[in-house]
Amino acid sequence: MEDHEKFREWVTAEKGVKINGITAHKFEGRGVGIIAEKRLEANTTILIVPIPALRTVHTLPKSLQPLAKSAPTIHGLLALMLVLDTTPKFSLWSAVLPTDSDFQSTMPLHYPPSLQDLLPTSSKTLLAHQKEKLLADWEFASSHYPKIPYEDYLYAWLLVNTRTFYFVSPSPGAVTPKNHDDCMALNPFADYFNHSSVGCHVSLTTSGYTISTNRLYSKGEEVFISYGNHSNDFFLTEYGFILPGVEEEAGNEWDEVLLDDYILPLLSSEKKERLKDAGFWGKYILDGREVCYRTQVALRAQCLSARKWQRFVDGSDDGDEDEEAVNEVLLKVLKRYKKDADKTAKQVRAIKDGEANHRDTLARRWKQISNLLQRAINRIQS
Ligand SMILES: C[S@@+](CC[C@H](N)C(=O)[O-])C[C@H]1O[C@@H](n2cnc3c(N)ncnc32)[C@H](O)[C@@H]1O
């Protein structure tokens, strides 16, 4: 942990970062995270990172500033800034960052195509979007700096992807970027925090980012923040990890699965058109408790007359009396999906390509999906 000590000295002495009662620590399966060095009462301020310590679109070196208007994304520009930064100061920070091989073994972007093909649909859709964004950023970066190797750019791009905080300048009169995705800051030391569904409080003011404890922490406990209320499919693609499933200890209470692949093929073209016209096309979600309202609408399109369905959509019929018919369709959907999820978990384990960690994470994800589906089946059948 010597590099971490040097980095800590640098951020506190030169960047004005204030650290109280926490330190960086290596955790099995989670890389480096934050540990409580002593007992921390609830509402203790454990970290303050002042605004000038951040790296954002406002701190680009002079050579990159003219590109800010034409770059496809701020993400891509920050990656370019990292690749081009060879200053000794930055080397203190880069020494504590994950390595390229950490990304190779965790990020689905690095999975072989055979395993990318077996990602759950929502992870696959996110990955396709990520690839498109990366390509546009890389084309832009390499057109301005043709000598940069792609591997270096990709590594920096993934650092930005997995370590930035949502940032809008808190200075009075500052302009908020139009695109939400462009609101990002590299945040030294704060970027050590790993994620859990419930974590410390994070606030951004003109003093910078302040992180304070959400509860009492015992000495030696890992201290988390929350990266947001996302499903494990999202965490897998964007960050290369999954939390335990909904029903497990410290599980992801926001986990959910997308049912589109199993509901849409049931519907006739007339019913599909009706759903599209009414704004209920796709995004059918099952979470740890229930299916969403959109799913209810789609299932009702399948098993009710057009007139009855319309009354449910209008809100003039609460739909209670049709619950049995709806559950019958839903049960078929869930059982079919569960059978496929179990099959896919086996397929993933049998594949020889990629790293063991790729296969293990993806097979675990399919097992979680299977469990979520089984719980919903049990609820209907109980
Ligand atoms: C902001 S960084 C956190 C620090 C990072 N663990 C490190 O070694 O530098 C985000 C990355 O940490 C890892 N991570 C965060 N929360 C995690 C968790 N609950 N379980 C496993 N890995 C996690 C993932 O690799 C993610 O991309």
Q: Determine which residue's CA is closest to atom 7 belonging to ligand 1.
A: 32
For residue 239 and ligand 1, the question of a CB distance below 6 A is answered with yes
Q: Residue of the nearest CA to atom 20 in ligand 1?
A: 30
CA distances, 219 to each of 9, 20, 22 (Å): 22, 13, 9
pLDDT of residue 173: 80
pLDDT (tens digit per residue) in 208-218: 999 999 999 99
pLDDT at residue 208, as a whole number: 96
241 Cβ closer than 6 Å to some ligand 1 atom: yes
Instruction: Please work out whether the CB of residue 7 comes within 6 Å of at least one atom of ligand 1.
Output: no
The residue whose CB lies within 8 Å of the most ligand 1 atoms, and thus the one to mutate among 239, 243, 358, 361, is 239
Residue 101 clears pLDDT 90, i.e. is over it: yes
Mean pLDDT (the chain) is 96
pLDDT value at residue 247: 86
Ligand 1 pocket, residue 191 CB under 6 Å: yes
**Is 165 a residue whose pLDDT tops 90?**
yes
Domains of the chain by start residue, with CATH: 2-239 (3.90.1410.10), 256-381 (no CATH)
DSSP string, 46-71: EEEE-GGGSBSGGG--TTTGGGTTTS
- Single-letter residue type at 301: A
Q: How large a percentage of the chain has pLDDT more than 90?
A: 92
- Distance (Å, rounded) from C-alpha 26 to C-alpha 4? 11
pLDDT surpassing 90 at residue 178: no
Statement: residue 1 has pLDDT above 80: no
**pTM recorded for the entire structure:** 0.96
Question: Which numbered atom of ligand 1 lies nearest the CA of 196?
Answer: 19
pLDDT of residue 242: 98
Confidence band for 301, pLDDT divided at 50, 70 and 90: very high
Residue 251 Cβ contacting ligand 1 at under 6 Å:
no
pLDDT band of 120, cuts 50, 70, 90: very high
Backbone angle region of 185, left / alpha / beta, with phi > 0 → left and psi within -120 to 50 → alpha: beta
Q: How confident is the model at residue 134 (pLDDT cuts 50, 70, 90)?
A: very high
Helix axes 121-144, 74-84, angle to 10 degrees: 60
Instruction: Find the DSSP H helices in 99-255.
Output: 100-106, 113-116, 121-144, 150-163, 232-239
As a whole number, mean pLDDT of residues 318-326 equals 92
Q: Which atom from ligand 1 is nearest to the alpha carbon of 163?
A: 1
Q: Is residue 31 in contact with ligand 1, taking CB distance under 6 Å?
A: yes
ipTM > 0.90, yes or no: yes
**Alpha-carbon distance 382 to 370, whole Å?**
18
pLDDT of residue 176: 81
Scanning the structure block, which residue is given the tokens 């303050």?
48
Q: Residue range 317-345: average pLDDT?
A: 96
163 touches ligand 1 (CB under 6 Å)? yes
The rounded Å distance from CA 239 to ligand 1 centre is 7
The residue to mutate among 96, 194, 227, 364, having the most atoms of ligand 1 within 8 angstroms of its beta carbon, is 194
Instruction: Tell whether the model's pLDDT for residue 292 goes beyond 90.
Output: yes
In the predicted model, is pLDDT for residue 233 greater than 80? yes
Is 90 exceeded by the pLDDT of residue 278?
A: yes
Name 13's Cβ contacts closer than 8 Å, sequence gap at least 6. none
Q: How far apart are CA 145 and CA 151, in angstroms?
A: 14
Tens of pLDDT, residues 354-370: 999 999 999 999 999 99
Percent of the chain with pLDDT over 70: 100
Is residue 342 over pLDDT 80?
yes
199 touches ligand 1 (CB under 6 Å): no
Binding site membership of 234 for ligand 1 (Cβ less than 6 Å):
no
pLDDT in tens, 195-207: 999 999 999 999 9
Mean pLDDT of 64-76: 95
CA of 276 to the centre of ligand 1 (A): 39
